Every structure is written in structure tokens, then in C-alpha cells.
Amino acid sequence: MRGGSRPIHSRAVAPVAGKLLEVGVVVLFVATLSTALYGGVVPEYRSAVAEEVGDRTLTAADHAVTSAVPPAPRTPTVRSATTRTTVDLPETIRGESYRVRFADGVLTLEHPHSAVDGRRRLAFPTQPSGTPSTWRSDARTIVVVQRDEEGLTVELMNR
């Protein structure tokens, strides 16, 4: 040591301590940002997207059912007509299975997250009859629509 100066071997401590502080600040920033995103922004985004997918699924189901209605018989010898149509729906919404129920002319989407649920009254030429029926999202879905002299009968089926 020379008169009041530091020893040579202690000069390397300051840059190392500075780098450790920089790394600590970066790690703290990344941890805070990750917590903020995964605690608030990302779940809200997933919920918003799930609501939109649920609405589109209900719209697609509505279109499939109303498009499956057979035309009215044009001759007196034809008394009824039946159509069977396969419907493509997403298997899951927000990672969960769901159901589409039909009763009294209304399609209802039932999902474990209530924000995704929805209802839609279908536009038919006459009020459909039949027993309530359900599609499960984890199975192949088919709609059967029968038109006869008494009106329409709609049934949702899984295969």
C-alpha cells in the first residue's frame, strides 16, 4: 500500500457489486412484469376471447340448425322431409367442454365459465316441436330436422 490508497486487490469488488445490482434490478423488473401480466391482463384477455368464441359458436350452431330446415313439400304426394346435417363446433372453449341445448325454439350454450354462456332464439317459419335435446362439444354433432304436415321437429344428436 502506498500512502492512503486502497490495496490493489480490492479494486475488482466495485464492478462485480455493480453488475450484481444491475442483474438484481432486471430480475425484479421481469418478476413484477410477469406478475402483473399473468395476474390481470392475460386472464382478462382469455375471458374476452372465450366470450367471443362462445358467441361465434352459438351463431354457427344457429346457422347450422336453421339451414337444415327442409323446404316445404311442393306436391301433394310428399308429406314430410327430413334432413341430417353434421355440424362442426369447437371441442373446447377456454380449455373446457361445453353443451349446446335446444328447447322451445331457443339454443342455449352452457359453459363452466358463466361469462361464455349464451342464448339465441332461432327464426323458424313455424314453432318447432319435439323434446329438448343437447349437443356435447366433445362428440360429433348432428342436427336432424323433420318437416311434416304438423310443422317442424328439431333434434340435436351426438355420435
The three state secondary structure string of 21-65 is HHHHHHHHHHHHHHHHHHHHHHHHHHHHHHHHHHHHHHHHHHHHH
Q: Where are the domains of the chain?
A: 39-158
Q: Is the model's pLDDT at 53 over the cut of 70?
A: yes
Per-residue pLDDT band for 38 (boundaries 50, 70, 90) equals confident
Residue 87 and residue 89: Cα distance in Å, rounded? 6
Q: Is the model's pLDDT at 131 over the cut of 90?
A: no
Residue 126 and residue 20: Cα distance in Å, rounded? 75
Please report the pLDDT score of residue 36 as a whole number: 74
Residue 156 and residue 14: Cα distance in Å, rounded? 74
Please report the pLDDT score of residue 110 as a whole number: 96
How large a percentage of the chain has pLDDT more than 70? 89
pTM of the predicted model, to two decimals? 0.70
Residue 64 and residue 117: Cα distance in Å, rounded? 19
Per-residue pLDDT band for 2 (boundaries 50, 70, 90) equals low
How many Å from the N-terminal Cα to the C-terminal Cα in the chain?
89
How large a percentage of the chain has pLDDT more than 90? 48
Please report the pLDDT score of residue 7 as a whole number: 59
- Range 72-92 average pLDDT: 87
Q: Is the model's pLDDT at 152 over the cut of 70?
A: yes
